[in-house]
Amino acid sequence: MPHARTGTHGDGRRGTPGVLPPLARRTGLRPRPLPPERCRMNALLSVRDLTVRYPGHGRRSAPVLAVDRVSFDVAAGETLALIGASGSGKSSTAAAVLMLRRPDGGRVRFYGRELTALDEKALRPLRPSVQPVFQDPYGSLSPRLPVREAVAEPLRVQGRWDPASGPRRVAELLETVQLDPRLGERLPHELSGGQCQACRHRGGPWRASRACLSWTSRCRPLDPSVRAGVLNLLTGLQERLGLAYLFICHDLPLVRHFAHRVAVMDNARIVETVPASALYASGGPLARKPPAADSCTAPAEAARQPMP
């Protein structure tokens, strides 16, 4: 078995403070190591020929082909960013991967199980391992439950709640995500957006040693230090637990920093997959067509990603 190694991004980011990318310097984001070699060889999430169609509404509107035979892999410990112009099919891809919407074609294989072949009942136990993190952090927490209850909920659901040790474990977990345990008494609307996002990850260490998180987010411009905190938290969890992330975001500098690879969607297809460090490189996907300040573009002329 090959020896696991910690790599670099090829641009000298790891472990060399003098050459940290500007975004990391400005925001306090941690530099990202590449996933170990052995992890990159094993796809945790494998998507093949994924297809999503929406029916037309009424007699005049035609059906929409939102995802057209999309294929990609994400390894344990790896972040794959999905970028592309608005309407290119990113959210529909994420929804189908998460099986929130049954795909109309193709296969989704997660941790060796073919999700697309399972019915709802068989999917249920796998759901905690494939988690979305939505752009609205408030919407993912019950508005009426104090934060400590939201944190305790996975343990209760799994029948693992121990009244003697439970409160201490909740406090420890809040500390793990860098929240003062006293915040546990508050309701979600009494927390900042970043604090809510941190709570949303409460189940991570308990729920799954492997998880696929889809951040179906436009990375709303939270306070940069809060956002850096959330992303550092995600990075820490990924390193500790070998999580795979599918990261959907319009903030390209952030994508370049946070992701290992980037898949570019255009008109329902993945047209190119490149290392994140190549995002702005000469001849790279975005070098050909500079992105607008708040959005991203996809090269229409690029060939479809070949199937492995």
Contacts with ligand ATP, residue ranges (CB under 6 A): 54, 64, 66, 84, 86-92
Write down the residue that tokens 């927390």 correspond to.
191
Minimum distance from residue 256 beta carbon to ligand ATP (Å): 18
Cα distances (angstroms) measured from residue 147 to each of 40, 151, 246: 36, 6, 26
The Cα–Cα gap between 229 and 178 comes to 9
Minimum distance from residue 196 beta carbon to ligand ATP (Å): 21
- Give the residue with the Cβ less far from ligand ATP, 92 or 195: 92
Cβ-proximal residues to 112 (8 Å cutoff; 6+ apart), any chain: none
The Cα–Cα gap between 111 and 126 comes to 10
Q: What are phi and psi of 255, to 5 degrees?
A: -60, -45
- Give the residue with the Cβ less far from ligand ATP, 36 or 89: 89
Minimum distance from residue 108 beta carbon to ligand ATP (Å): 16
Sign of torsion over alpha carbons 19, 23, 27, 29: negative
- Give the residue with the Cβ less far from ligand ATP, 140 or 176: 140
- Give the residue with the Cβ less far from ligand ATP, 116 or 216: 216
- Give the residue with the Cβ less far from ligand ATP, 7 or 87: 87
Minimum distance from residue 60 beta carbon to ligand ATP (Å): 14
- Give the residue with the Cβ less far from ligand ATP, 66 or 279: 66
Minimum distance from residue 182 beta carbon to ligand ATP (Å): 37
Minimum distance from residue 269 beta carbon to ligand ATP (Å): 11
- Give the residue with the Cβ less far from ligand ATP, 81 or 151: 81
Local structure of residue 308 (DSSP, 8 states): -
Beta-sheet pairing, 105-110 with 113-114: antiparallel
Helix, strand, coil fractions of the chain, as percent rounded to 5: 35, 20, 45
Minimum distance from residue 64 beta carbon to ligand ATP (Å): 4
The Cα–Cα gap between 264 and 63 comes to 23
Other C-beta atoms closer than 10 Å to the C-beta of 250 total 19
The Cα–Cα gap between 146 and 298 comes to 43
